[in-house]
Amino acid sequence: MTTEKAKKRFRITDEGPFEVLRILVSILIALAVTFVVLCFVIEGDSIPARLGNAGATFIKLLTYPCKNMFYFGYVLVKMVPLTFAGLATLLYFRTGLFNLSTEGVFYIAGVACTYFAVSEARLTGNPFIDSAICIVAAGLCGGIIALLPGYLKAKFQANEMVISLMMNSILFGIGFWMIKTFLAISGVTGTSSAPFVASARLTTIIPKTQVHSGIIIVLVMVVLVYILLFKTKLGYAIRITGLNQNFARYSGMGAFGLFMSVHFLAGFIGGMGSAVELLGVYQSFTWSQLPGLGFTGALMAMLGKNHPIGVTVAAFGISYLRASAQLLANSSPVIDIKLVSVVEVILTLLISSQYFLRSWREKQLLKEEQCNE
């Protein structure tokens, strides 16, 4: 009886609550460090004045997006590409693949999307179909590109991480060249493409904000990836292979087909994300360097514990701070979207540390044992 009662009691040292505690402590530490960094660079004559200024700026940073609907909508807009990139990367990570090609896929699939989106001749004029053409084209492009490292990994067991990194640089070079040479406004040598046709762009769904229909697409994708991972045979194979490659092989799961499908799916999701971001936010293709969304996707996957819903939450949290920092950038010389990298790096360092808070937990468990005795 007593043991059953003890089991039901909420304990912070249990697996689930402890994980939540770890994440909360990580967030607190990350924010505290950001505050300290702010204190160092903020203007102020004396130490109290600096602290005050930093405190005010810091609170602004944490609350600004809640001020009105437009700002909050901006958070949602920022969240869309991060979630897409996170979903793509989590498929790799779940399979035990350290593939970082989402960065390059985002770029080249964006070029594929632009190919259709800039020309009325390649579109129908129906907004729904036009957006779909561009998004599917980008997805297919991403999927096919991702098959290259997938094939090398599946067939020759090549080092997929280094290959994917080299591919990022190559895809950027090719993509940028294509944008400049074929997709720019004719006669103009610039670094951006011709403007997107209006019917290809995604529509705004919440009035007076920038929130576009991409947010619906991304939420649908989150559900689909969830179903794929936890309700299908392929998803089971993915999870088992990620846990133990040998077990998967010995139980008769073909590694070749699995790796190829995972790469195609991840590439497809990455490509879709790129198209949705471009058509939702941009007027034309203007990325003159790699957008950095693919690498952030790896962080999202890690912070979200490789779970689709976790990734969504992580993407929301990081987007919240990024959006806030970007909105505040004009009001303060030291606030910039890049400052959020402090939060990102500390969260990643702490959450990926298996031993973070472990000794504390063990002490608590030991104490409990002693009490019980």
Partner 1 sequence: MSDMISSFFTPSFVALVIRVGTPLLFASMSAYVASLAGIPNIAVEGIMLFGALFGVYFSAISGSAWIGLLGVLAVGVVLALVLAFFTMKMKADPIMIGIALNLFATDFSVWLLLVWTGSKGTTANLPSKVLPTVNIPFIENIPIIGTIISGHYFLTYVCIVMAILLAILVYKTPFGLHMQACGLDEHAADSVGIKVNRVRLIAVIMSGIFAALGGAYLSMGYLSIFSNNMTASRGWIGIAAQAVGGGNFLIVTLTTGVFAIAQGIVSKLALTSLPSDLINTIPYVCVLIGLIGLSVKEYRKRRAR
Q: Which residues bind partner 1 (CB under 8 A)?
A: 41, 98, 100, 152, 155-159, 161-163, 165-167, 169-170, 172-174, 176-177, 180-181, 289, 292, 295-296, 298-299, 302, 333-334, 336-342, 344-345, 348-349, 352-356
Cα–Cα separations (whole angstroms), residue 117 to 22, 81, 282: 45, 18, 11
Burial tier of 161 (Cβ tally within 10 Å: 0-12, 13-18, 19+): middle
User: What single-letter DSSP state applies at residue 57?
Assistant: H
Q: CA torsion sign, 82 to 85 to 89 to 94? A: positive
Cα–Cα separations (whole angstroms), residue 357 to 23, 124, 343, 344: 10, 57, 19, 19
Give the CA count within 13 Å in the CB-facing half-sphere of 276.
28
> Cβ 130 to partner 1, closest distance in Å?
29
Identify which of residues 67 and 155 has a Cβ nearer to partner 1 in the complex.
155
> Cβ 249 to partner 1, closest distance in Å?
14
Nearest CA-CA partner of 197 in 272, 110, 114, 112: 114
> Cβ 2 to partner 1, closest distance in Å?
35
Identify which of residues 10 and 40 has a Cβ nearer to partner 1 in the complex.
40
How many Å apart are CA 134 and CA 216, to the nearest integer? 17
Identify which of residues 171 and 237 has a Cβ nearer to partner 1 in the complex.
171
Identify which of residues 12 and 170 has a Cβ nearer to partner 1 in the complex.
170
> Cβ 171 to partner 1, closest distance in Å?
9
Identify which of residues 253 and 302 has a Cβ nearer to partner 1 in the complex.
302
> Cβ 45 to partner 1, closest distance in Å?
18
Q: Give 161-199 as a DSSP string.
A: HHHHHHHHHHHHHHHHHHIIIIISPTT---SS-PBPPGG
> Cβ 27 to partner 1, closest distance in Å?
15
Identify which of residues 95 and 213 has a Cβ nearer to partner 1 in the complex.
95
Do residues 296 and 85 touch, judged by C-beta distance below 8 A? yes
Do residues 279 and 201 touch, judged by C-beta distance below 8 A? yes
Cα–Cα separations (whole angstroms), residue 224 to 76, 90, 120, 140, 269: 20, 13, 31, 17, 11
> Cβ 243 to partner 1, closest distance in Å?
15
> Cβ 4 to partner 1, closest distance in Å?
34
Identify which of residues 89 and 131 has a Cβ nearer to partner 1 in the complex.
89
Nearest CA-CA partner of 300 in 326, 318, 321: 318
How many Å apart are CA 170 and CA 177, to the nearest integer? 11
> Cβ 153 to partner 1, closest distance in Å?
9
Identify which of residues 96 and 127 has a Cβ nearer to partner 1 in the complex.
96
Identify which of residues 163 and 228 has a Cβ nearer to partner 1 in the complex.
163
Where b means 16+ CB within 10 Å and e means fewer, 298-330 reads: bbbbbbbbbbbebbbbbbbbbbbbbbbbbbbee
How many Å apart are CA 94 and CA 243, to the nearest integer? 8
Do residues 186 and 307 touch, judged by C-beta distance below 8 A? no
